[in-house]
Amino acid sequence: MDRIGFNMVASGSGGNCSLVWDQDNLIVIDFGISMKRLKNRMKDLKIDITDISLFISHEHSDHSSGVRTLIRNSSVDVYTRQGTADSLGLNDAFAIRNPVVIGNFSITPIPVSHDAADPVAFVVQNGKAKVSVVSDLGFVSPDLVEAMMGSRVIALEANHDVDMLKSGSYPFPLKKRILSDHGHLSNAQTAEALESVSRPWTEILLTHLSQENNLPDLARRTVGDHLSNRGIEYRSLECASQDLGSPVYNIEIF
C-alpha cells in the first residue's frame, strides 16, 4: 500500500522545519535550520529527491533563516504569502492564496493570528492521508479547526504553560505578547483545540515548546488529561524537540 511520510526535523525558537514526502515529491515546511541538518535527516530517512517544494509559514527567523542558503544550494520552488515574500525579499517566490497542487499533494494555507506579515498554517493532503502543521498563533479559529478535521497527524503548537510563563523571567512586554491573540498557544489552548479534532486514529505531535516556559511531560500531561477526562480518543501523543525533532510517521494512502 502506498504511504506518505512526515517528520519534523526541528521544532522550537531555535529553528523549525518539517518534511512531508511520497515516492515522487518532497514538501518542506519552513526552513530555520542548516543545509547540513536537512541533508543529514534526508539521508537518515532515505529520501532521495532532488527537487524540493518549500512552503514558508511566516517570516520570523526561526522559520526562515536558512531559506536563502537552501535556494542557493538546491533545486527549490518557494511558496508563501505575498506579505511574507516581501518581508523576506523573495522576489521569485510563488505567492499563494489557495491550495497548491504538487504531484499527488495538495497544500492548503490557512490564515492564523500571529505578529507577522501574513502568517499561515499548512494542511497537506495526499489522497485521504492528511497532515496539519500548525504553529505560531495566538488562538485557534473555527476555520482552522475545520481545516484540521480528518488529519491523521496533527502537529500543533503547545508553546507554554501559562503559570510558568507568568512567574518566569521574561520581561512583562514579552509575556504580554506571548499571551495575546497574536502570540503563541498555551498547553490548555492546544488541548481545547484537539478536543474538537482528535479521533481514534489521530497522531498528535505537540510542537514549538518553549524551553523557558514549558516542559514536555507537562505539555503531554495537560493535553492527555484534558482529552482523557472528556472521553476523547487518539492514537498517539508525542512532543517534538529542538534537537531531535519528532518521530517518523508513515501514513497509508487509501
- Secondary-structure class of domain 3-252 per CATH: alpha beta
Convert the pLDDT of each residue in 108-149 to its tens digit: 999 999 999 999 999 999 999 999 999 999 999 999 999 999
Measuring CA to CA, how many Å separate 237 from each of 5, 20, 58, 171, 251? 17, 19, 26, 32, 16
As a whole number of angstroms, the distance between CA 188 and CA 133 comes to 18
For residue 204, the cross-strand partners are 154, 237
pLDDT per residue over 17-32, tens digit each? 999 999 999 999 999 9
Nearest to 218 by CA among 184, 195, 226: 226
| Domain definitions of the chain by residue range | 3-252
Contact status, residue 56 vs residue 9, Cβ threshold 8 Å? no
